Amino acid sequence: MSKKGAPETRSSSRRQFLKSAGLTGAVMAAGARSAWSQAANAESNPENLPPHVADWSKYPGQGVADRPYGKPSKFEAHVVRRDVEWLTATRQSSVNFTPWHELDGIITPNGLCFERHHGGAPDISPADHRLMIHGLVDKPLIFSMSDILRMPRVNRVFFLECAANSGMEWRGPQLNGCQFTHGMIHNVMYTGVPLKVVLNEVGLKPNAKWLLVEGGDAAGMNRSLPMEKALDDCLLAFKMNGEALRPEQGYPLRLVVPGWEGNIWVKWLRRIEVGDKPWLAREETSKYTDLMADGRARRFTFVMDAKSVITNPSPQAPLRFRGQNVLTGIAWSGRGAITRVDVTLDGGRNWREARIDGPVLERSVTRFYVDFDWQGEELLIQSRCHDSTGYLQPTKNELRAIRGVNSIYHNNGIQTWLVRANGETENVEIS
Ligand code: MTE
Ligand code: CO
């Protein structure tokens, strides 16, 4: 078993990440442990415990007018998105991460969905937002938000995973926490209009094969989307988890491309150009390739393969009690539904089938559990998932054997956490 990689390996991997992501000028921040699980570890106040009457039982609480828009309890203040300062050159063109170790079930609360944007997040007035569709169409049109809100809509739960999720981990364990190794994914229910409804309205020419989808942010993010996918299950979404999209997630309108890498889910969607081939020179796709060991690159790797991670225990959520414990995690596949998750506690010698609980949906996060007994022994824990195509999540070394270590993107290898006798948990790899 090799523990965390040697510092040289780590920094060269980091440089590689920054280089491939087109980013420079990063500085390594001190990895001081912050106060993430403070609330749960806080000392009890005996005055509030039986046989005393707790303070909050003696006086009325806050009234209904105190919270026109509700927020979590102050005791949950550590449950936040976090970024890694040295990862990107600026905080506008950057990323923050979903705190999966603090969540349960399958839905990510809107305020905790990781953000990735290349030019900062604008807050656009829906009254001023327009979606233009032109190119190889019978009738080019400009849609206002009120036009879109009067079209037939649907509700669908999907995960969005950035292709760079776990991108730092190609050369060895780098970041201590599933928030950082696996936090570039969120899973929400979208409400939106199927893209095919809008495309029907403009009418497609017979040679219409590709769309250029473009955002209204300062980055003007654009990607080429094949027509087949556009007509299959893509949505023009305006709501997530029932309420309007948050500005950082593309308010007032974003593209939803189920199962495909996050980059193509264009936010603040302002323009769709219909063409007969992809816009290779212009668009972001030229950057979103997977560099292989021999210098060749994989292109159009749109689909996110099956992947899973144990969120508890994990470095930010160590084990605290002996005896009964709950291990939990998430699994997802861009190719279909999760059919089964296996968990090992002893580095792969023995596997047991995890208990899946909650909705099992296609292209959505699925929640799994293992209820287990812990007597302070060291554990090497891993999860591996199977999807409805029969695919089994690979080990990191199986991935490296095919893809090398030059890539940033599409790392869906099995994650290992080492749980020490004192419950502290670390990102490691088993060789
Ligand atoms: N759309 C626009 N307009 N601008 C962007 O920078 N970033 C893309 C995609 N859509 C981006 C964008 C990337 S790389 C990802 S991973 C997802 O948005 C992130 O979506 P989220 O911020 O809702 O998590
Ligand atoms: Co991305």
Cis omega (within 30 of 0) for bond into 7: no
For residue 256, give Cα distances in angstroms to 159, 273, 285, 323: 10, 17, 17, 43
Q: Is 116 near ligand 1, meaning CB less than 6 Å away?
A: yes
* Confidence (pLDDT) at 271: 98
What percentage of the chain has pLDDT greater than the value 90? 80
Q: Distance from the CA of 62 to the center of ligand 2, in angstroms? A: 41
* Confidence (pLDDT) at 41: 62
Report pLDDT digits (tens) over 67-91.
999 999 999 999 999 998 888 777 7
The set of residues, in sequence order, having a beta carbon less than 8 Å from that of 297 and lying 6+ positions away, is: 289, 290, 291
Q: Is 254 near ligand 1, meaning CB less than 6 Å away?
A: no
For residue 329, give Cα distances in angstroms to 160, 356, 365: 17, 10, 10
Report pLDDT digits (tens) over 353-402.
999 999 999 999 999 999 999 999 999 999 999 999 999 999 999 999 99
Q: Which of 212, 335, 316 shows the shortest CA–CA distance to 270? A: 212
Domain boundaries defined on the chain:
307-428
**Which tops the pLDDT comparison, 172 or 23?**
172
> What letter would DSSP give residue 282?
T
Report pLDDT digits (tens) over 215-260.
999 999 999 999 999 999 999 999 999 999 999 999 999 999 999 9
Q: Which of 311, 369, 365, 388 shows the shortest CA–CA distance to 188? A: 365
Q: Is 101 near ligand 1, meaning CB less than 6 Å away?
A: no
Alpha carbon of residue 68 to chain centroid: 29
On the 0-12 / 13-18 / 19+ scale of CB atoms within 10 A, 285 is buried
Report pLDDT digits (tens) over 11-33.
444 434 333 333 222 222 223 34
Q: Is 270 near ligand 1, meaning CB less than 6 Å away?
A: no
Ligand 1: which of 81, 93, 118 to mutate, most ligand atoms within 8 Å of CB?
A: 118
Average confidence score pLDDT of the chain: 89
> What letter would DSSP give residue 97?
B
Nearest CA to ligand 1 atom 9: 263
Q: Distance from the CA of 333 to the center of ligand 2, in angstroms? A: 17
On the 0-12 / 13-18 / 19+ scale of CB atoms within 10 A, 42 is exposed
Q: Is 217 near ligand 1, meaning CB less than 6 Å away?
A: yes
* Confidence (pLDDT) at 129: 98
Nearest CA to ligand 1 atom 21: 115
Can you tell me which atom of ligand 1 is nearest the CA of 119? 6
Q: Distance from the CA of 95 to the center of ligand 1, in angstroms? A: 9
pTM over 0.85, yes/no: yes
* Token reading at 206: 């017979």
Q: Is 110 near ligand 1, meaning CB less than 6 Å away?
A: no
Distance, in Å, from the CA atom of 179 to the CA atom of 82, rounded to the nearest integer, reads 8
CB 332 within 8 A of CB 306: yes
Report pLDDT digits (tens) over 113-154.
999 999 999 999 999 999 999 999 999 999 999 999 999 999
Can you tell me which atom of ligand 1 is nearest the CA of 95? 22
The set of residues, in sequence order, having a beta carbon less than 8 Å from that of 202 and lying 6+ positions away, is: 133, 137, 138, 139, 140, 141, 274
* Token reading at 213: 């989808």
CB 254 within 8 A of CB 267: yes
Fold of 307-428: Immunoglobulin-like (2.60.40)
Q: Which ligand is nearest to the CA of 92?
A: 1
CB 288 within 8 A of CB 162: no
* Confidence (pLDDT) at 280: 76
Q: Is 271 near ligand 1, meaning CB less than 6 Å away?
A: no
Q: Distance from the CA of 215 to the center of ligand 1, in angstroms? A: 9
Q: Distance from the CA of 52 to the center of ligand 1, in angstroms? A: 52
pLDDT higher than 90, residue 334: yes
pLDDT higher than 50, residue 59: yes
Mean pLDDT confidence for 328-337: 98
**Which tops the pLDDT comparison, 265 or 42?**
265
Q: Distance from the CA of 263 to the center of ligand 1, in angstroms? A: 5
Mean pLDDT confidence for 48-71: 95
Can you tell me which atom of ligand 1 is nearest the CA of 269? 3
Q: Which residues surround ligand 2, an ion (CB under 5 A)?
A: 116, 162, 262-263
Ligand 1: which of 267, 286, 289 to mutate, most ligand atoms within 8 Å of CB?
A: 267
* Confidence (pLDDT) at 34: 39
